[in-house]
Amino acid sequence: MGHQKLSTLTRRFARDRRGHVAMIFALSSVGLIGVTGLAVDYARGAQAKSSLVLAADSAALAGARLVGTAAEREEAAKQVFEANLNQSEHDLTKISMKPENIVKDGRNYGFRVTASADIPTTMSRILGHQELGVSTFAEAIGVLNTPTEVVLALDTTFSMTGWKIATLKDAASKLIDDLKPLALDPDKLKFGIVPFGQYVNIGVSNRNQPWANVAPDSSTTTTSCKMEKQVIGSTNCQQVWVPPQPATPPGTCYNDGVPYTCGGSAAKAGYFQTKCDPVYGPDQEVCKTKTTTLKWNGCAGSRNYPLNTLDGSYGTRIPGIMNITCGTEILDLTTNSNLAKTRIQALTPNGETYIPAGLIWAWRMLSPQAPLSNAATRTTAEPVRKFLILMTDGLNTKSPNYPMHSGSNGALSNQLVKEICKNISKDTANAITIFSVAFDVSDVPTKELLKTCALDTGGQFFDARNAAEFLAAFSKIGLNISELRVTK
């Protein structure tokens, strides 16, 4: 009996032992499945967060790039966020996106986005985790760390008179105000101004430069004498009827391509006029004095083709044109933004349009070699970003008849613009980017010319049809120049 009881107890213990093992295994399996589920859901969460980060970064950049009000920037950021967030792929729920415009010194400075979302868990629910939260934060601002040079070649011809020149002053000044706060080192941001019309005023202080060919100011007086009969009286006087004259209609004249009414005369009534025969005395010597004055007001002409399309070979000097005026003097590259804005506010419409003059001098200003020398040299150790902003409100109305620009062959001037732009694009030493702006321009070939000029250098063309679009174009150029980047 004792042996049978022991055997029974042993079998019962064995059965009981198997039961504990099964229970322990079952409990262990729950933990293992939960841990595995956490790992799987964590990987899903990491993928979802990557998508959230991408969407937030894109939204922050979109908000920062947009020129407009805070509400418009926020709306643009929301649209980009939604377009970039792959909600269905990651089964995201409870998505939250908070856009925030960043303002500094009263101007748009950057943009911030805070975003979060939940993803429903799968296997880790066994441990009581129903959802997994992910969140991110992105901030985009423009900061100029790299030395940057910006030259504005600005059309200041007669056709810019009135609201156009006022809009230009506002847009150019605001561009400077927008970029200045972004420069961490003020000495690394320079501005240059090249107003242009029929000529460019390079300043009388450059008269004696080795690259300039300017005659000295002078005044020469000459006297010429000849024998002439002198009228000493009159005879046979009588009243002669002058018939009435009808009015003549006015015609149309043009100043820088802008039409205006000119000529014509009013009707004149008939009248009697006294007419006499002259009585001459003996011949007498009559002497006349003539004074010829040469004065240079800073206006630069053109070297013969093809040197007028190139930045180089200044052994052939740039001619000065005497006895004409040519608008506001250029301002070479400077870190003094207030000085640049003062020069912009001094712009005055003058003359007709010859775009090659403004374009070639803007190129010269961005080049460290003569004739202008304030530009920095680009090196591998110290790269320099160089930008040329070219704006005009119309087609070329003048062309070169060397060294002057008094011809009227607009097609020739267009070809010169095309060649200068092509040569700038080949100037890899300076790597200049051109932004071109057509301001209320209806001439299609001119707009195509400006567009090609910009695109050849990796820049951008803006067709501004009114003041609002012109201001927006300059703001967008400023955003392109600023080194916009995600900082957080």
* Residue linked to tokens 């009581």: 128
Cα–Cα dist 406/195, whole Å: 18
Cα–Cα dist 481/483, whole Å: 6
Over residues 389-401, the pLDDT tens digits come to 999 999 999 999 9
Cα–Cα dist 418/457, whole Å: 12
CA torsion sign for 392, 394, 396, 397 is negative
385-392 vs 148-155, strand pairing mode:
parallel
Asked if residue 446 lies in contact with residue 257, where contact means CB atoms within 8 angstroms, the answer is no
Closest CA to 437 of 402, 469, 480: 469
pLDDT along the chain (488 residues), means of 10: 48 46 45 54 76 88 82 91 77 87 81 89 61 85 89 97 97 94 89 98 97 96 92 93 93 76 89 94 91 96 98 97 96 98 97 97 96 91 93 96 97 98 97 98 95 97 97 92 80
**Residue 127: predicted pLDDT:** 55
- The token duo for 427 is 């100037």
**Residue 47: predicted pLDDT:** 83
Asked if residue 294 lies in contact with residue 391, where contact means CB atoms within 8 angstroms, the answer is no
* Residue linked to tokens 């030259």: 151
Cα–Cα dist 400/301, whole Å: 9
Closest CA to 377 of 343, 333, 345, 407: 333
- The token duo for 417 is 């613009």
Amino acid at 262: C
Closest CA to 385 of 247, 481, 306: 481
Asked if residue 301 lies in contact with residue 361, where contact means CB atoms within 8 angstroms, the answer is no
Q: Tell me, letter by letter, the H, E, C secondary structure of the chain.
A: CHHHHHHHHHHHHHHHHHHHHHHHHHHHHHHHHHHHHHHHHHHHHHHHHHHHHHHHHHHHHHHHHCCCCHHHHHHHHHHHHHHHCCHHHHCCEEEEEEEEEEEECCEEEEEEEEEEEEEECCHHHHHCCCEEEEEEEEEEEECECCCEEEEEEEECCHHHCCHHHHHHHHHHHHHHHHHHHHECCHHHEEEEEEEECCCEECCHHHCCCCCEECCCCEEEEEEEEEEEEEEEEEEEEEEEEECCECCECCEEEEECCEEEEECCECCECCEEEEEEEEEEEEEEEEEEEEEEEECEEEEECCCCCCHHHCCCCCCCCEEEEECCCCCCECEEEECCHHHHHHHHHCCCCCCCCCHHHHHHHHHHHHCCCCCCCCCCCCCCCCCCEEEEEEEECCCCCCEEECCEEEECCHHHHHHHHHHHHHHHHCCCCCCEEEEEEEECCCCHHHHHHHHHHHHCCCCEEEEECCHHHHHHHHHHHHHHHCCEEECC
Give pTM, 2 decimals: 0.77
Cα of 400 vs its chain's centroid, Å: 27
